[in-house]
Chain A
Amino acid sequence: MTSRAAAVLLGLVALAAVFAGVIAPHDANARFGDSVNAPPTPIRIVADGHLTRPYFHPWRLADRLETRYDEDTSTRVPLTFFAGGRLVSDPGEPKTPFLLLGGDSAGRDVFARLVIGARVSLGIALVASVASVALGLLVGGLAGARGGWIDAVLMRLSDVVAVLPAIYLVVTLRSALPLVLPAGATIAILVVLLSIVGAPWIARGVRPIVAAERQTGYAEAARAAGASPWRLLWRHLLPASFGFVARQASLLVPAFVLAEATLSFIGLGLPDTVPSWGTSLQDASTLGSIALYPWLLAPAVAVFVLTLLVNLAVGEDALATAATEAP
């Protein structure tokens, strides 16, 4: 029950990421000079004691040095719906932006960057998870089906990669490459690094399943009927592991979202112009700004919600087994 509800919510998150361009009231990189570190704009629906269509009072920069904002109660800006290809927008945009989750240190809309950043963060994580599965099935399948020294070498290697602290591995490899790269190249590098780190977690679970299936009667029958080793592996042995792979691959997604966030946070991930949960959190990298502008932590909350939903969707029994059978 809970796992199904969580799966539905995850679907909604994915939909939100796909339609981010419609949901976000502004462009991710639009800068509003008078809204640097502005707090979230409260939406109001009561005016002069009556219900009215949603509006807000714009922030007035009271003190630029202290970045203190006052609500300009004399002006009411009504929110418009379904205008200009956006779900919500405000007519007076450049002067009085509607900032649902406040503004960041460059005066950009935190909410817009969160929604559009979901695309980048989830996209990288999903692709890396699929790549991990491909690599893990290959390694685990080969090791389980062939046995012998291939098995020994591949699994030893997987053990070493799995047991090394993942973030140290990724940070070391990433820092060995030029630090400033085009956004596309950085994304490709992240996907490759993450799939290398993730693959052992698939391979180590797939290998024993394939090795056990190899001994079964139907595998023997397929071999006797003249199935080639590859056909045997792909059609008969690997499918037995798909249940495990699906669970493990789902758990890799939030782990990879977190990894991207961490790397971007410490400046080894994506450039600031690419909105992602990690690059958005960079603004919160000083202790002072966390205390003064807590809305900058919105992407961290998003990481938590995503992790929780995936954990619920996978189910807690599977969660515990995944933790035990992986090693």
Chain B
Amino acid sequence: MTRYLLRRLAGTCLLVLAVSSAAFVVTRLAPGDVAQANVGLGGASQEELARARHEAGLDRPLVVQWAGWLSGAVRLDFGRSLLYRRPVASLVGERAANTALLATVSLALALALGLPAAFVTATRPRSIAARAVGVLSLVLISVPPFVGSLVLVLVASRTAWLPAGGMTSGGDLNGLPWLLDVLRHLPLPVLALALPLAGTFERLQAQALASALSEPWVSAARARGIPESFVLRRHAWRLALKPVAAIGGLAFGALLSGSFVVEMVTAWPGLGRLTYDALMHRDLTLVAGCAAAGTVLLAVGLFAADALIAWSDPRVVHDEEQAEGAAA
């Protein structure tokens, strides 16, 4: 188990370096640079631009620049952002935390709404409630976070039930008042992200639960007189989690994708907006830092999904361990 975790950690580190390096190189190859974005706007002379480039090391060859960045990155020094004039690590960390907050709360809400609803649809498929839930799920699946956030912004600004954008109302808030303010701003982007995902979870889980309930061992359990609710909660539910867990990794990727759009629409100061700004201004170190943070978030999500698969169906782990033993 430890060996598996260590191998996985090493793989993640490699992936983080690979993805952020790729983002660095691609942005370096793009036309324009951050010196132009920073100095160039005021009609700076060529000499000024050249000096700014030299100070930032932008005039060095690509390979040298990348190697310099990489040697820092492996020591967890991600350099300074030329656009925001502060260390990349703290800036990206701050924004990534905002995105992680959005993503985890959305995921939790989607699970909390989707999985219990699936119980209704799977156990009483012919009831009115089950049909209503089924239709609602299909409608929710069809509202992508982009569309959902636009509509929610409209509703919020018309009714003033919720603040229409941002993460705080501004001003210097600390401690509890700050937390309450964030909590007031959270529902809008979270709903836009969570509702379509809840629909997907409900459909998947309902199907899996229905097929789990037709397994022979469920009949056996019933025949032995085990109460239906116990069969459901104790046995079928856990096995039926597998399909949900199987898309868990991809769902997390989709959450990050959706979060990018929702952040753009609702002005949530997260990783998506930061990446966009960094890309637009060709801030190499910041682009690479954002890519690294995004990959870390993704890796955590994938790991959680795999852990959930292992828990819902222990055979998976058993098979993998056997395969590993055979390979060794």
Chain A residues with a Cβ under 8 A of chain B: 160, 162-168, 171-173, 175-178, 258, 261-262, 265-266, 281, 284-285, 287-288, 290-291, 294, 297, 300-301, 303-304, 307-308, 311-312, 316-317, 319-320, 323-324, 326-327
The docked-state distance in angstroms from the alpha carbon of A167 to that of B203 is 25
The answer for the CA separation of A297 and B265 in the assembled complex, in Å, is 13
Residues in B neighbouring A323, C-beta threshold 8 A: 200, 204, 247
Contact (Cβ within 8 A) A172 B26: yes
B204 contacts across to A, CB distance below 8 A: 320, 323-324
Residues of chain A with a CB closer than 8 A to B141's CB: 307, 311, 319
Q: Do the beta carbons of B298 and A164 come within 8 Å of each other?
A: yes
Extra 19 A-B pairs, beta carbons < 8 Å, given A165-B254, A307-B142, A324-B246: A163-B302, A164-B253, A165-B253, A168-B291, A172-B275, A172-B291, A175-B27, A176-B26, A290-B150, A291-B157, A300-B147, A311-B138, A311-B142, A316-B134, A316-B138, A320-B204, A323-B200, A323-B247, A324-B247
**Chief secondary structure at chain A's binding surface:** helix
Given contacts A175-B280, A176-B27, A311-B142, contact A167 B257 (CB under 8 A): yes
| A168 x B256 contact (CB < 8 A) | yes
- Chain A: minimal CB distance from B274 (Å): 12
Q: Is the CB of B146 within 8 A of A265?
A: yes
Q: Kindly list chain A residues whose C-beta atoms are within 8 Å of the C-beta of B146.
A: 258, 261-262, 265, 300, 303
Some 5 contacts from A to B, beta carbons below 8 A apart, are A163-B249, A171-B279, A290-B153, A290-B157, A300-B146
The answer on a CB contact under 8 Å between B276 and A266 is: yes
Are B294 and A165 touching (Cβ within 8 A)? yes
- B27 touching A290 by the CB < 8 A rule? no
**8 Å CB contact of B294 from A162, A168, A178, A265:** A168
Q: Please encode chain B, from 191 to 231, with 1 for each CB lying within 8 Å of some chain A CB and 0 for all others.
A: 00000000010011001000000000000000000000000
Cβ contacts B245-265/A at 8 Å (1 or 0 each): 011011001101100110011
Establish whether residues A165 and B142, one from each chain, have CB atoms under 8 Å apart when the complex forms. no
Majority SS at the chain B contact face? helix
Contact: B142 with A304, CB < 8 Å? yes
Per-residue A-contact encoding for B115-159, CB less than 8 Å = 1, 0 else: 000000000000000000010001101111011001101100110
B9-44 CB mask vs A (1 if < 8 Å, else 0) is 000000100010001001101110000000000000
**A163-B298, A165-B298, A326-B250 in contact; A172/B27 too (CB < 8 A)?**
yes
Residues of B within 8 A of A288 (CB): 157
Contact A163 B261, beta carbon cutoff 8 Å: no
Q: Is B92's beta carbon under 8 Å from chain A? A: no
Alpha-carbon gap, A149 to B272, bound state (A): 36
Nearest residue, chain A, Cβ from B27: A176
Size class of the contact patch on chain B: 35 or more
Contact across chains for A300 and B27 when beta carbons are under 8 A apart: no
- The residues of B that contact A316 with a CB separation of less than 8 Å are 134, 138, 203
B29 & A317 in contact (Cβ 8 Å cutoff)? no
User: If A304-B143, A324-B246 touch, does A287 touch B153 (CB 8 Å cutoff)?
Assistant: yes
Name the residue of chain B whose CB is nearest to the CB of A164: B253
Cβ B250 vs Cβ A163 within 8 A:
yes
Determine which of A166, A291, A307, A311 lies in contact with B164 in the assembled complex, contact meaning CB atoms within 8 Å. A291
Name the contact of A327 in the complex, choosing from B164, B250, B256 (C-beta under 8 A).
Answer: B250
**CB closest residue in chain A, given B146:** A262
Nearest to A167 among chain B residues (CB) is B257
Report yes or no: B257 in contact with A291, Cβ–Cβ below 8 A: no
Structural contact, A165 and B260, CB atoms closer than 8 A: yes
- Nearest Cβ on chain B to A310's Cβ, whole angstroms: 8
A308 touches B139 (CB 8 A): yes
- Residues on A with C-beta less than 8 A from B257 are 165-168
Q: With an 8 A cutoff between CB atoms, is B114 at the interface?
A: no
A307 and B144 in contact, given A165-B298, A167-B261, A327-B249 (Cβ under 8 angstroms):
yes
Contact B264 A265 (CB under 8 A): yes
Interchain CB contact under 8 A, B203 and A319: yes
| A171-B203 CB under 8 A given contacts A327-B246, A327-B250 | no
- Cβ contacts under 8 Å, B165 to chain A: 287
Q: Which residues of A contact B276 (CB under 8 A)?
A: 171, 266
**Minimal Cβ-Cβ distance residue in A for B134:** A316
A158 to B207, CA, bound (A): 27
| Contact status of A297 and B151, CB under 8 A, knowing A167-B257, A171-B279, A266-B276 | yes
Chain A's nearest CB lies how many Å from the CB of B224?
A: 31
Q: How far is the CB of B281 from chain A (nearest CB, A)?
A: 10
Chain A contacts of B157 at CB under 8 A?
Answer: 287-288, 290-291
- Complexed CA–CA distance, A258 and B260 (Å): 13
Choice from A171, A176, A317 contacting B275 with Cβ under 8 Å: A171
A189 CA to B262 CA, complexed, in Å: 24
Our pick among B138, B139, B144, B302 for the contact of A258 (Cβ within 8 Å) is B144
